[in-house]
Amino acid sequence: MHEFAAAFATALRLIGTLDPDLVEIVGLSLRVSLSAVLAAALVGLPLGAALAAFRFPGRRVVVVALNAMMGLPPVVVGLVLYLLLSRSGPFGALGLLFTPTAMIAAQAVLITPIVAALTRQTVEDLLVEYDDLLRVLGTGPFHTIATLLMEARVSLATTVLAGFGRASAEVGAVMIVGGNIDHVTRVMTTAIALETSKGDLPLALGLGLILIVLSLAVNAAVSIIRDSARGSFV
């Protein structure tokens, strides 16, 4: 039980003194996860909307496969990416292994299916209302997708946040492709894993508390932005 009290005290001390290692790790974690979410949103949102709006042969197979990919094991994604980016792998010449870029790629691979699959469902529900209208107006494919995404933006914000949550909580993939290198590829989750490995459980738990607070902060920020956009303050 005393570990929880020690963890709380450690977390407060790290935040209060703006511990430079902590600032560095938090900065990198945010950069990696936010970049991954941005990439995933750029690909996943239009992809999900397109899947919902258009009919084509094999559509059902794609939808099922996309849903299944929401459950991709992170450590497997990490391993596959490691083999691809390794010097003796096909993309080795890029020299991306053990860099934040590789970590962003790994997280993007993991959360794009989540964003796409949830977007598809959201937009499909929306189409019940909008399908006839869009047909009558004869909108082209690009405008159809853009309109649907715009109309669904409030629900899609939650989808994107779900992607962010998954990305920032992930440790298996980034550990393998990043290598948890001090000052280079060490993020919150891999730092927690390392401190646990060193037996410093209060520090590991303290970092965990900070990670949760960070996630709360991001979600709160989005909520405030959303409400001010709507003109209401709850």
Partner 1 sequence: MLRRTFIAAAVAAAALAALPHTASAADRFITVASTTSTEDSGLFKYLLPLFTAKTGVEVRVVSKGTGQAIDMARRGDADVLLVHHKPSEEKFVAEGFGVKRLPVMYNDFVVVGPKADPAGIKGLKDVSKALARVAGAKAPFVSRGDDSGTHKAEQTLWKAAGIDPAAAPGGWYKALGQGMGATLNAAAAMDAYTVADRGTWLSFKNRAGLDVVVEGDQRLFNQYGVILANPQKFPHVKAAEGQAFIDWLVSSDGQKAIADFKINGDRLFFPNANEPGA
- Binding pattern to partner 1, positions 200-219, x when CB under 8 A? xx------------------
89 binds partner 1 (CB under 8 A): yes
Residues 148-167 that bind partner 1 (CB under 8 A): 150, 153
Q: Scan for tokens 């963890």, then name that residue.
A: 7
Closest distance of CB 125 from partner 1, Å: 21
Smallest distance from the beta carbon of 120 to partner 1, in angstroms? 20
Residue 46 as a binder of partner 1 (CB under 8 A): the answer is no
Strands (E), the chain: none
Cα dihedral sign, 176-181-182-183: negative
CA atoms of 6 and 144, how far apart (whole Å): 54
**Which one among 40, 53, 81, 99 touches partner 1, defined by CB under 8 A?**
99
88-96, 108-116, 131-139, 214-222 -> range binding partner 1 (CB under 8 A):
88-96
Q: How far apart are the first and last CA of the chain?
A: 37
Distance (Å, whole) CA 162 – CA 144:
25
Binding mask 16-35 for partner 1 (x = CB under 8 A): --------x--xx-xx--xx
Q: How far is CA 114 from CA 109, 124, 133, 144, 176, in A?
A: 10, 15, 28, 22, 21
Nearest-10 Cα torsion for 182, 31, 94, 47 = 140
By CB under 8 A, name the binding residues for partner 1: 24, 27-28, 30-31, 34-35, 38, 86-89, 92-93, 95, 97-100, 146, 150, 153, 179-185, 194, 196-201
